Structure 1
Amino acid sequence: MDVDKANEWLVGNSYDQNDQEGTNLVGQFGWKFQSRDELLGTLRQLYSIQGYAISIKNSKNNRYLTIGCDRGGCYRNKWKVPTEHRQRKTATRLINCPFEIRCKRQEDGFWLVEEKNNSHNPEPSSDMSGHPSCRRLSQEEITTIEEMTRSGIPPRQILSSLRQSNPKLQAISRTIYNTKVKLRKGNLAGRTTF
């Protein structure tokens, strides 16, 4: 399944990000997907066009999948520490967005998509780099970061080089720093730096 069909529909129907009442994008097409990866990739692209990022809320490997807005849910205080006693003053991105899509694998092996709740609480994002799920790097970009790091190139130049090769890249400098740390830990293979 290609997202071009969705793009054509969005352009042809003059989709307005501010007026989404009754717009059931997935239902417009009656999509069936051959694989779970194809399903997730297409839906992520489709909702990214609208200014939203989606994430997996619940799944069972090859049976069903529940997808929601990445801002859905509420903050859970796992450690039961009162807010006034916390060392770090942090905030949450979650605002309990009700958006939900359910996907089910049929007996013929295809994934069928059904939108349950099409409304969003947050306004659409004009810059998708604010969503962590949109800042993911491909394996070849990670390999490039590793090679450039070995060459002694600073992170800001690595980022600008990646953006030249992929203008749609949503990564920020923090993404590069985090990737370098992950690569360094992988190279140490459990050993300490001491």
Structure 2
Amino acid sequence: MKLNNTIIILVAAFIFSLSACKAVKENFGGGVDMSQQDQVNKIPGIIAKKIQPEEQLLEVDFDFKNSQSFTQEAKIVEVVKAEGLKAIKISLNTEDSVGSKSMEEFTWYKDMVRYAKPLSQFDFSKIAQYVTDAIQQIDATNYEYAGLGNYTLKVEKGGIGHQFDIQTTKKGESSKQNGRMITTNYYELNFEVTPEGKLINKSK
């Protein structure tokens, strides 16, 4: 299990987080709990507001970190789409997609453009099950579930796979405060789901 040190700046970061979350709430439905399938089922419709049916995608990526902790409620989503031999990343947590940026310099995207697929082929139907099954693999004797680190659906040669991280805290280990900063240790479990739907704990 990998240790991640997360340092939280209490005042400035907290204020920034509040304003950022307000923008997200207005444009990404106020957050989607990835452990609740009825909420996850809303995601394709949210993405479809910005992505045309014929557009070819490489990746759909969700982030769960805020200034204070992790959560399992997705409020930020980024979509990477193919445009010719280029890959363009679009952030859907803002008012529009004008701020998209080219990802063509990254080797992974160059190699995978040929496997790009439309949004209709990205399967969100079992995400809640994968998350729930992964949480059950936490060593409950020593660790407590803290939230998701990220969740990514990406094209592979064999189809579309899923990759996500579970964040935990160690029981009996408290956060430490130093002036205006608090440091919390998070321990990460890494999972992937093959295109065939098999959940694999990569941290074992």
* Structure number with higher relative contact order (C-alpha < 8 Å, ≥ 6 residues apart): 2
Largest Rg, 1 or 2: 1
Classify the TM-score, shorter chain.
Answer: under 0.3
* Normalised TM-score (structure 1): 0.27
TM-score, normalised with respect to structure 2: 0.26
